């Protein structure tokens, strides 16, 4: 029985070898950028233990992690959800509220975490 709801995409390609090279180059670029950001995060986490850092340096490290995570998440949205192919205004309309919301959540986590820490210190 032959099904007409299944499309065989491998039989329906219409790109040249040059277009294939461009696509493969883009895949390697995306892989390299995401790998570099991840390697930086891992190296900072492995090389800078919390016990050896002052409070200000540790706060900067945490802010750096948050910034790298937001950059990585935005890049993933731009590439894998094809938002990078859209107009600049649409990209900003989608990404800016997302980034503001993430930063708001981080602010609330920091504020509440500081409050809980102060409360525990008071009870000791």
For 52-62, write each residue's pLDDT tens digit: 788 888 888 88
Two tokens, residue 5:
């709801």
Query: What is residue 78's predicted lDDT score, i.e. its pLDDT?
Result: 85
CB 77 within 8 A of CB 95: yes
pLDDT tens for 31-86 read: 999 999 999 989 988 888 777 788 888 888 888 888 898 889 888 888 888 888 88
Q: What is the pTM of this model?
A: 0.66
Count of structural domains, the chain: 1
Q: Kindly state whether residue 80 falls inside one of the protein's structural domains.
A: yes
Q: Is residue 57 part of a domain?
A: yes
Domain ranges, residue 48: 19-123
CA separation for the pair 92, 98 (Å, rounded): 10
If one compares 87 and 53, the residue with the highest pLDDT of the two is 87
Domain annotation covers residue 11: no
The predicted pLDDT at position 2 comes to: 60
Q: Has residue 12 been placed in a domain? A: no
Q: Looking at the domain assignment, is residue 61 inside a domain?
A: yes
- Closest Cα partner for 99 from 64, 69, 63, 65? 69
Q: What is the dihedral of CA 40, 46, 51, 54, to 10 degrees?
A: -20
Residue 67: inside a domain: yes
- With a CB cutoff of 8 Å and minimum separation 6, the contacts of 46 are none
Angle between helices 88-123 and 55-80 (to 10 degrees): 150
Q: Is residue 27 part of a domain?
A: yes
How many Å apart are CA 9 and CA 55, to the nearest integer? 55
Does residue 34 fall inside a structural domain? yes
């Amino acid at each position: 029985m032959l099904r007409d709801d299944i499309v065989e995409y491998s039989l329906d390609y219409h790109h040249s070898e040059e277009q294939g090279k461009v696509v493969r180059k883009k895949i390697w670029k995306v892989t390299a950028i995401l790998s570099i950001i991840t390697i930086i995060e891992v190296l900072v986490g492995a090389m800078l233990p919390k016990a050896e850092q002052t409070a200000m340096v540790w706060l900067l490290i945490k802010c750096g992690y948050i910034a790298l995570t937001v950059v990585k998440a935005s890049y993933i949205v731009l590439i894998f959800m094809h938002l990078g192919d859209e107009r600049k205004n649409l990209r900003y309309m989608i990404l800016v509220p997302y980034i503001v919301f993430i930063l708001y959540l981080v602010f609330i986590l920091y504020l509440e975490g500081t409050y809980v820490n102060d409360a525990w210190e008071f009870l000791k």
